[in-house]
Structure 1
Amino acid sequence: MTTRSRRETVTFKHPFQLKGLGRLIPAGSYDVITDEEMIEGLSFASYRRTATMMIVPGAPPHTSSMEMISIGSLELADVQRIDASAP
């Protein structure tokens, strides 16, 4: 099975919270990594998402370290929408 990873940077203007993390993430730019696998048997290349991870600062007092957390694509879209609509 062929897999690939895509990396993009998302920027938040306001602090935000993710389900299950239990702390506020500061505003800023964050890397989001999406793993995808090729769908076999098609006459064209097509991929399906298998995992999405976001790299965020570690929990206090380890804020100088980074932590990779799993995030659903719908949750990421919701957090981005809330950030964009906040004053």
Structure 2
Amino acid sequence: MFTRTTHSIVHFNAPFVLKGVDKTLPAGDYDIDHDEELIDGLARVAHRRVATFIHVPSRSSKLSTRQVFPIDHFDLEAALLEDQSRPE
């Protein structure tokens, strides 16, 4: 089956926690990868998300050691919504 990876960047204004990551992550911009597979048999091209990954630490970190953690896309969306709803 054909798989593709799309890339995005998310921003958190405050520290946050995600299932699958063993520590609280600081505020910042984070690289996110989504693996998607082609759905066969449709009249038009469509993809289904099969995995989501976060790159740690944030983009602004000076640390040279990088890790990639598999996370649930819905947990990421919930954390982003919670972050956006916090008063500044």
User: TM-score normalised to the size of structure 1?
Assistant: 0.87
Letter in 1 for 2:39: I
Match of 2:12 in 1: 12
Match of 1:73 in 2: 73
Moved beyond 3 Å, runs of 4+: none
Q: Comparing both chains, which one has the higher relative contact order based on Cα–Cα distances under 8 Å and sequence gaps of 6 or more?
A: 2
Distance 1:12 1:73 in 2: 15
Give unmatched runs, 5+ long, in structure 1: 58-62
Deviation at 1:49, TM superposition (A): 0.6
Count of aligned pairs between the two proteins:
82
Deviation at 1:29, TM superposition (A): 0.3
Give unmatched runs, 5+ long, in structure 2: none
- Tell me, yes or no, if the aligned pair for 2:20 and 2:70 is still in contact at 8 Å: no
- Tell me, yes or no, if the aligned pair for 2:2 and 2:37 is still in contact at 8 Å: yes
Distance 1:22 1:37 in 2: 28
The Cα offsets for residues 17-41 of structure 1, whole Å up to 9 and x where unpaired, read as 1124231101000011000000111
Matching of residue 38 in structure 1 with residue 3 in structure 2: no
CA 1:47–1:20 in structure 2 vs 1: closer, same or farther (change >3 Å)? closer
